[in-house]
Amino acid sequence: MFRRGVVLLGAIKKPKFEHSTNFQSSYEQLTGLEIKIPVPWGHIAGKWWGPTNIRPILTTHGWQDNCDSFNRLLPLISQDVGFLAVDWPGHGYSSHIPDGFYYHNTNYMLLIQRLVDYFKWSQVSLMGHSLGASISFLYTIINPQNVDLLICLENIKPLTEDIITTNSERIAKFLHYEKLRRQNTEPHAYTMEEIKRKIASFLDGSVAYEHSHHLVERSVAPSKSHPGKYCFTRDPRLKVLDLVNWRQKDLVLGARRVRCPVFIAKATGVSYFEEENNVHEVVDALKESGNCEHHLLEGTHHFHFNNPEAVAGLIKKFLKQRDRSDRSVGGIKEEMIVYS
């Protein structure tokens, strides 16, 4: 039986909800507790890992991934603090944004604030990979007083690029995908083997094939026209990159405003996707506070997914030494839980 491509292995009966205790079963501690949070255009889906009775670390994934990209990392570090890993809009099980709207980085920052308001968090702890890391960084530099901890994996800032010459092309491309969406035609269908290989080929083989199945469940649904095949369910408009750019000098000045503990991990086998010095300038500005640690690790863009053990120990040590957050208020809400 399928639910948007997810193979349901049998209903899991959960204990009665009690806000004051962590009620996750041993199965959910390994797979995450499925959640859904209302937003004006639908809902944000995700998973809650670890203790549910305290404020978690809000965790966000990379471009065209989903929250299952943390499936192999979070079980290694969620024993003492919870992690709320969400699907960005248009990704995974989260609702797509309405027709006529664009997937701007500013919309992602607004979502973080919506989640903060939903939980009534006085402060927020952030962890992100790739796109999730750059959005977490942007939110931190505009709200430095509201962020008590920042973990960035494989990225730290949005790209500083010349978008003047590319915006016209991106607008045309976006309108093309929007038109296809309105026509409601089924996307191209693939066999499951083809799906896994397409996921594994992303960014020149960034995702290890043997682990690619983790990203499948929240990314595909059975084809209605081709039995035995599957279609990607993420919003095709996501293929168009952002129209809005940030000036390098503003990112550096913003980094100097950050006072919370910052953890950065970058893979040595991956380019910076822009001038390397732009990234170093921002990292150096963060280090001026004396509260930032920067690690270079072997691996691909998805090193946290392919080899989570390499970074899990560093994150656990970082949290043990630097996390002084008050997490007593802001645990899970019963209305969020998706009961099988």
- Quick one: angle between helices 276-287 and 248-255, nearest 10? 20
pLDDT value of position 26: 61
> Is 130 annotated as catalytic?
yes
DSSP of 135-180: HHHHHHHHSTTTEEEEEEES--S------TTTHHHHHHHHHHHHHH
Residue 69 lies in a domain: yes
Residue 292 lies in a domain: yes
Q: Which residues of the chain fall below pLDDT 50?
A: 1-21
For 186, other C-beta atoms within 10 Å of its C-beta total 11
Residue 59 lies in a domain: yes
pLDDT value of position 24: 60
Residue 3 lies in a domain: no
pLDDT value of position 181: 83
Residue 127: which CATH number?
Answer: 3.40.50.1820
Residue 109 lies in a domain: yes
pLDDT value of position 134: 97
pLDDT value of position 164: 67
pLDDT value of position 146: 97
Residue 218 lies in a domain: yes
pLDDT value of position 272: 87
Task: Work out the mean pLDDT of the chain and round it to a whole number.
Answer: 90
Q: Is 220 exposed, middle or buried (0-12, 13-18, 19+ CB in 10 A)?
A: buried
Residue 271 lies in a domain: yes
Total of domains in the chain: 1
pLDDT value of position 165: 67
Query: One of 78, 95, 130, 212 is an active-site residue; which one?
Result: 130
Residue 6 lies in a domain: no
| Biggest distance spanned by C-alpha atoms of the chain | 57
Q: Which domain holds residue 31?
A: 21-336
Whole-model pTM over 0.75: yes
pLDDT value of position 241: 83
